[in-house]
Structure 1
């Protein structure tokens, strides 16, 4: 929307860059949207909001000091991985003063990993997206075993062999809205209906198609797990939906030319993301690591590589 772009351009450059970094979690290069996202995170929890703030500032400043592309920095591309790293570490690890230093270090590393991935993937016109966040978070979550100052939190799944699904069943009608909105909110680890609604609002400010793809991804992340017999509690918490949300936005709005065909491809990608998430969850169970957004990253990469070989879809563009 024009009014949001005017506000975006009127902001001081450092603030605009930071807020764009938050917005880029949902592919939105807009400071107004980033501000809405950040406010939503603080509403969901002060610690999560503060961790995201520390993360986005650390990763952005690191990119600037390391001399990475100023255009990419200004677009917020070096901020969104740090935005995710902060809340992630505070969710899965026990809180301590040292954890703030841990977030800063992880956020800095996420910018370095992003720069490396951008260099590697540039010839193929494939985006690194949240892969730096995933790899950095995995490394820092595993590293806690070597440090006495950190310990795993109760949310982090304990290492163990995959077990048969329990608690499968249809989601009650009165829980559907909750499951859908939480599916959007869980992209940034927020277990809140209000946060999900604010996220969708922020996306809609930039693009109605983007918001529609996000909403459709949430629906896919509820309907498909029900049909496949997934755990009802996980569905209601939105834990099967946040990856399809990102996948459908990436394929159906951002990296392929928006059209009916790209929307159809996005739908297929969203459905397969659910299966990919279940498979990766079982694969990672023995080492006790969460899937994070890796199901989205892996599915998106495969679909964008495949789309470049098809006569029906244009080549993906790097964002």
Structure 2
């Protein structure tokens, strides 16, 4: 609590424009905290200058667009119009070939993510569930698919090649020391960083804002390793943390960000994390023929289903955190 109070005190002393931008970065992990956002952004630059610059361009573009379009100041101040743009930048630079025009692509995509977010907020308001990273997903899918029409852009080697999914090879158990690295990478992969150091810094940034949030993130990373191993999924993908970043977000959302903390919400979060792994495997098979990555769609889909289900139960209550 002392750490959290300290970080929030510093948050309030940061000049408003910079505070809003950094909160937008922090909201990627549901943290409305400029100090946490600063740690996240520094970690991205440590992982790679290009990724850091792309995230910076994205969060600035999406936040400025929200101001110019006259969206609610309360939501802008909380950084809600910044986190989708933060994700758009590194994502497009990861999956598309780097070129000078790509920076314009990032700016345009980040602006669109703000418009999509406002629209989804309106659509989802009666359901009382957050849009979360859905605007980022829809925007990036559209911009990735659009590259076929432009001579100035081309697919990167990491963008899935359209085709029939192949079966995973038989795998062995992952050594404990590799499991630790995979857990850290699972947290870092939320922002497309393949780095143990970045993952540790992300976890530290979350802990500064909320110890429970950090515990849920770590638990999600562990679920994203254990369940794929038990189900016999691709070992190389597990070691890279690619089955962990969606459970990280799902468990944070259900176990901390949107439902009142309790033993029951923690149990529901673990269930959400497990099903997110299965959902990711299924959606990968569905999207591979289209040549599109799953991104955080498994997390969003599972979060929506679980939060809607929780609203019908007498055991869980929503938090009003404005996230």
CA distance in 1, matches of 2:177, 2:212: 27
CA distance in 1, matches of 2:167, 2:245: 23
Question: Is 1:189 paired with 2:192?
Answer: yes
Once superposed, which parts of structure 1, at least 4 consecutive aligned residues long, lie more than 6 Å away?
Answer: none
TM-score normalised by length of structure 1:
0.99
Cα shift at 1:6: 1.3
CA distance in 1, matches of 2:211, 2:269: 16
Contact 1:308 1:316 in 2 (8 A): no
Question: Corresponding residue for 1:105?
Answer: 108
Instruction: Count matched residues.
Output: 319
Contact 1:304 1:316 in 2 (8 A): no
CA distance in 1, matches of 2:172, 2:305: 31
Question: Corresponding residue for 1:82?
Answer: 85
Cα shift at 1:171: 1.1
RMSD: 0.8
Contact 1:86 1:103 in 2 (8 A): yes
Question: Corresponding residue for 1:43?
Answer: 46
Question: Corresponding residue for 1:202?
Answer: 205
Question: Corresponding residue for 1:169?
Answer: 172
2:216 to 207, 213, 218: 213
Post-superposition CA distance 1:15-70 (Å, at most 9, x none): 00000000000000000000000000000000000000000000000000000001
2:271 to 244, 268, 271: 268
CA distance in 1, matches of 2:255, 2:164: 36
Matches within 5 A, 1:68-79: 68-79=71-82
Where in structure 1 are there 5+ consecutive unaligned residues? none
Question: Corresponding residue for 2:257?
Answer: 254
Contact 1:59 1:110 in 2 (8 A): yes
CA distance in 1, matches of 2:96, 2:176: 34
Contact 1:126 1:316 in 2 (8 A): no
Cα shift at 1:174: 2.2
Cα shift at 1:157: 1.0
Question: Corresponding residue for 2:12?
Answer: 9
Question: Corresponding residue for 1:96?
Answer: 99
Post-superposition CA distance 1:163-183 (Å, at most 9, x none): 111252211222011100000
Contact 1:255 1:316 in 2 (8 A): yes
* More displaced stretch, 165-174 vs 205-214: 165-174
Where in structure 2 are there 5+ consecutive unaligned residues? none
TM-score normalised by length of structure 2:
0.98
Say which SS state the counterpart of residue 198 (structure 1) adopts: helix
